[in-house]
Structure 1
């Protein structure tokens, strides 16, 4: 008991005044013998508590009522299933590719849902686009959707008429995410597409850059015609009759070459772009893939309708386009060569018969 009192009362003072040896510390930490009665009582208390706690902590197992709850929910749904409002999803971004809209489906609600009205910051605007801007909100120019719808319908009309007359249409979009848009639009309109970098000089110097590119000659029913292999290999590369550009800022070289070759162009013009670069401008947000998907689908549907009109008229004997001058010259030369060959063969046969 003396050692215990010394440890409890004088331990702090003894440790502070002078350091103690290891043997002294061992002597201070030893305890006096505890009576056997206390030793036996302490473990018994802990063991009894552990046993009681283990019995109370057993998890209750509830009966499985999954089938019963399912039938109950089914019966409840029969009674209250038709109660409440019917919620319909008006706009889904994936529907632009599953069900491409046409020129008749262009509405202000569709354009707003596709974020076509969002322009750039006021510090980045081009004053030439002032006629397309509706206002300013939080430092951002808002494009007038009425102007967008009107210009989009006009561009769709141009695409439809060029497709009706058998023209070559090129859909170009070189930003990430434009590949699916331009390929679907070209597939609908029966046109060409470009989603990689434009090769400079493909129009102005196409005779050198595009030499030997494959081409086909088709009739009024869009079926390949045989006998023009020589013409295809020796003819000049084709030049598109219309170019639809989704990002004019990155394709200035393409638009410049189209202007030099008198090729009409259609471009999506944002508030920071130059509208005079293209022939037919569509004021809209060129950074939104939803907006570009809507515009590409509308123009693709317009080309599809023009192509259908041309094929229907061709079945009735009406051809809306004329044979190119180069093809006419090639056909005239082939006919002249065939006539000379027939005359030569006739002369040979006549000489053999006279002999």
Structure 2
């Protein structure tokens, strides 16, 4: 399907050129004839060139490129602005500032300054300033918006430009050619088509004609963007939620967290109970004696003490009463003799303390004890031997 038809161009007056005395000989190949002192443009050559320009712009935008709309004369200002805004491309429709392409870095700084002023105005900082200072900034902002308002979305130099009336926009065309930027333009009978990369022979002085070709380029941009989205589908935009939906979502998240925490607590309780049960079963399977020894310490000695043998009984000490009786009954014919009581009575006390004392007795005490033992033995011998 053709991008544009012959009837549409005829109705828009795209076939009218300039007066015969105002022409460029290089446009002779695109002139059909002359009528009433006005050149008539050959629209049969315009159709294929419109198709070529359309395909170029479409492929450029499909590859991620940008195209700058340029038209500063009165017949082109409104079409350029409306169709550039429609397709989301930058534009210049008030005045072309020298260096917009060749000195793009400086122009971008001015654009950023304009955006900063707009932010200050929106936040109410202008109202807090002195009246004169706020008035000066407001005037500067108005001037920047008029000249650079269409470049707010341009972050780098454009990949191509679309120009209406290359005679008036000769500076833009010169800068583009210097930088090697392709130029798509509507060329009338008074312009040089050799400085344009994709010329479209048509009337550039009629509002309807300019609107027609600006619409064609805008359609090419939209189709190219559609192709780009098909090649690289963009993620679906996030849908903004209402405060009620946000509150409901947060409540659901909180309930889910509480349920997860409760489930974790139940699992921990089950694991703890299973662990305690297995420990009790293992304790029951162990030996009772080993369990008692390990839990209550060494068992108490409940056995009765054994009786001493007869030999030990002879060595047992004689009670004090028996010795006294033996002393009071001397043998016949024997003179009474004094008997020394050598029975050593231990002072009452704790056995453990006695053991400590015995362990800590010096050698002199041990020798005294040995002498006492020998004296006891001699006394016993004296008792059993009668005096001669």
Instruction: Tell me, in whole angstroms, the C-alpha distance in 1 between the residues paired with 2:20 and 2:66.
Output: 38
Q: Show the 5 A alignment for 1:137-286.
A: 137-211=35-109, 213-214=111-112, 238-286=156-204
Q: Show the 5 A alignment for 1:274-313.
A: 274-313=192-231
Q: Note the aligned Cα RMSD (angstroms).
A: 2.1
- Equivalenced residue count is 195
Q: Show the 5 A alignment for 1:55-66.
A: none
Instruction: Tell me, in whole angstroms, the C-alpha distance in 1 between the residues paired with 2:82 and 2:58.
Output: 16
How far off is 1:307 after superposition?
0.3
Instruction: Tell me, in whole angstroms, the C-alpha distance in 1 between the residues paired with 2:56 and 2:3.
Output: 17
How far off is 1:276 after superposition?
1.6
How far off is 1:131 after superposition?
0.9
Q: Provide Cα deviations, 1:37-81, integer angstroms capped at 9, x if missing partner.
A: xxxxxxxxxxxxxxxxxxxxxxxxxxxxxxxxxxxxxxxxxxxxx
Instruction: Tell me, in whole angstroms, the C-alpha distance in 1 between the residues paired with 2:155 and 2:202.
Output: 33
Instruction: Tell me, in whole angstroms, the C-alpha distance in 1 between the residues paired with 2:27 and 2:214.
Output: 22
Instruction: Tell me, in whole angstroms, the C-alpha distance in 2 between the residues paired with 1:237 and 1:190.
Output: 13
TM-score between both structures, scaled by the size of structure 2: 0.48
Q: Gaps (5+ residues) in structure 2?
A: 114-153, 236-388
Q: 1:184·1:300 contact (CA, 8 Å) conserved in 2?
A: no
Instruction: Tell me, in whole angstroms, the C-alpha distance in 1 between the residues paired with 2:159 and 2:106.
Output: 20
Instruction: Tell me, in whole angstroms, the C-alpha distance in 1 between the residues paired with 2:81 and 2:110.
Output: 24
Larger Rg: 2
The structure carrying a bigger helix percent of its residues is 2
Q: 2:75·2:205 contact (CA, 8 Å) conserved in 1?
A: no
Distance change (3 Å), C-alpha of 1:247 and 1:188: same
Q: 1:213·1:237 contact (CA, 8 Å) conserved in 2?
A: no
Match of 2:363 in 1: none
How far off is 1:124 after superposition?
1.1
Distance change (3 Å), C-alpha of 1:177 and 1:136: closer
Classify the secondary structure of the residue corresponding to 2:69. strand
Instruction: Tell me, in whole angstroms, the C-alpha distance in 1 between the residues paired with 2:216 and 2:81.
Output: 13
Q: 1:207·1:237 contact (CA, 8 Å) conserved in 2?
A: no
How far off is 1:316 after superposition?
8.4
Q: Provide Cα deviations, 1:270-290, integer angstroms capped at 9, x if missing partner.
A: 001111221111100111111
Match of 2:15 in 1: 117
Q: 1:155·1:280 contact (CA, 8 Å) conserved in 2?
A: yes
Classify the secondary structure of the residue corresponding to 1:282. strand
Instruction: Tell me, in whole angstroms, the C-alpha distance in 1 between the residues paired with 2:85 and 2:223.
Output: 13
Classify the secondary structure of the residue corresponding to 1:245. strand
Instruction: Tell me, in whole angstroms, the C-alpha distance in 1 between the residues paired with 2:104 and 2:112.
Output: 13
Q: Moved runs in structure 1, 4+ residues, more than 3 A?
A: 212-215
Instruction: Tell me, in whole angstroms, the C-alpha distance in 2 between the residues paired with 1:171 and 1:316.
Output: 26
Instruction: Tell me, in whole angstroms, the C-alpha distance in 1 between the residues paired with 2:66 and 2:35.
Output: 41
Q: 1:163·1:189 contact (CA, 8 Å) conserved in 2?
A: no
Q: Gaps (5+ residues) in structure 1?
A: 1-102, 216-235, 318-355
TM-score between both structures, scaled by the size of structure 1: 0.52
